[in-house]
């Protein structure tokens, strides 16, 4: 039987790449959730069905979920993710959705980083609702080295971050999307699993040295105080309940008080049959974008 798979966040970097991987699967029908007819046209041009769904408008949820077997839950960077996730899952239950794949956040089960914990509350609610589930917990996206918050991250060979000399765990978004697609298409294999995804660990100072070697130009790391991030988010009009949590976690990274900040995992080959992207691979692939 063909599985109808609904992708929320379909126009984002994880959602769009997940769709790319799902197109390789047999016996699935991809349904992209969109908020406007303009965004629907791009998917329909590729033969991908769309439904109108707005996480802030509960009336759109149940109609969009009708006939869906498997749901990919992605939410934005706002505390509203808690309300949005509950409403989405409650309506998914009413619609008869069977399997839920949730894109969460970093962290061990006992994390006290606030927004990571919010995602774990969503995980528990998925389980409490009785869905078959796969929980995805990606570490820091390698793509953040290219851009963050809509701005280029590394300018003129200067790498900046708010974490002092902390070593972080890193994952390529494409690796996350591949695991997401497999989990959506094959719940009989991936149901009941929590996949933590971080496949290389490095500090920003180490990254600058790596980039110098691979790109062939000098790169240097300049740590910034987390307060710079906080001010930039305020000036950008970001949702501060969430961004205050991010500010706090930058401070905790810098202080070395996040247990397992550089945890890495060996699950990717078992899930996909391939090796994950390492930072050297990623920098080499984007060498021209890093050059200045």
In this prediction, residue 202 carries a pLDDT of: 98
DSSP state for residue 9 in the 8-state scheme: T
CA pseudo-torsion sign 108, 168, 239, 91: negative
Looking at the domain that runs over 3-139+171-199+262-274, which CATH code has it been given?
3.40.50.720
In this prediction, residue 37 carries a pLDDT of: 87
The β-bridge relationship of strands 99-103 and 167-171 is: unpaired
Compute the distance between CA of residue 202 and CA of residue 85 in angstroms, rounded to an integer: 32
Digit-coded pLDDT (tens) for 275-288: 999 999 999 999 99
Kindly tell me if the per-residue pLDDT of 221 is higher than 90: yes
Give the model's confidence band at 208: pLDDT under 50 very low, under 70 low, under 90 confident, else very high. very high
Q: Give the list of residues 6+ apart from residue 225 with CB closer than 8 angstroms, or none.
A: 162
Question: Which candidate, 279, 1, 261, places its Cα nearest to that of 106?
Answer: 261
For residue 237, the SS3 value is coil
The torsion region of residue 110 among left (phi > 0), alpha (psi -120 to 50) and beta comes to alpha
Digit-coded pLDDT (tens) for 51-65: 999 999 999 999 999
168 touches 201 (CB < 8 A): yes
The whole model's pTM is what?
A: 0.96
Compute the distance between CA of residue 150 and CA of residue 158 in angstroms, rounded to an integer: 17
Domain assignments of the chain as residue spans, ordered by start: 3-139+171-199+262-274
30 touches 19 (CB < 8 A): yes
Q: What percent of the chain has pLDDT over 70?
A: 100
């Amino acid at each position: 039987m063909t599985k109808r798979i609904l992708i929320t966040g379909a126009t984002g970097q994880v959602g769009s790449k997940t769709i790319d991987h799902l197109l390789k699967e047999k016996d699935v029908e991809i349904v992209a959730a969109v908020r406007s007819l303009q965004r629907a046209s791009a998917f329909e041009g590729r033969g991908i069905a769309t439904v109108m769904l707005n996480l802030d408008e509960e009336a759109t949820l149940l109609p969009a979920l009708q006939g869906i077997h498997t749901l990919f839950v992605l939410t934005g960077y706002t505390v509203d993710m808690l309300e949005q996730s509950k409403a989405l899952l409650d309506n998914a239950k009413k619609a008869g959705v069977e399997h839920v794949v949730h894109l969460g956040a970093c962290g061990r089960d006992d994390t006290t980083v606030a927004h990571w914990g919010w995602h774990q509350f969503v995980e528990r609610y998925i389980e409490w609702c009785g869905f078959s589930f796969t929980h995805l917990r990606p570490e820091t996206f390698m793509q953040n080295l290219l851009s963050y918050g809509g701005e280029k991250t590394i300018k003129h060979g200067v790498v900046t971050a708010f974490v002092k000399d902390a070593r972080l765990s890193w994952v390529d978004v494409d690796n996350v999307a591949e695991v997401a697609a497999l989990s959506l298409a094959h719940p009989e294999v991936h149901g009941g699993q929590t996949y933590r995804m971080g496949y290389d660990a490095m500090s920003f100072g180490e990254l600058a040295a790596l980039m110098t070697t691979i790109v062939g130009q000098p790169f240097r790391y300049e740590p910034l105080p987390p307060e710079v991030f906080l001010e930039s988010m305020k000036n950008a009009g970001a949702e501060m309940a969430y961004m205050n949590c991010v500010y706090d976690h930058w401070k905790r990274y810098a202080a070395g008080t996040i247990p397992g900040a550089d945890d890495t995992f060996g699950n990717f080959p078992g899930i996909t049959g391939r090796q994950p992207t390492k930072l050297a691979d990623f920098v080499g692939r984007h060498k021209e974008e890093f050059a200045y």
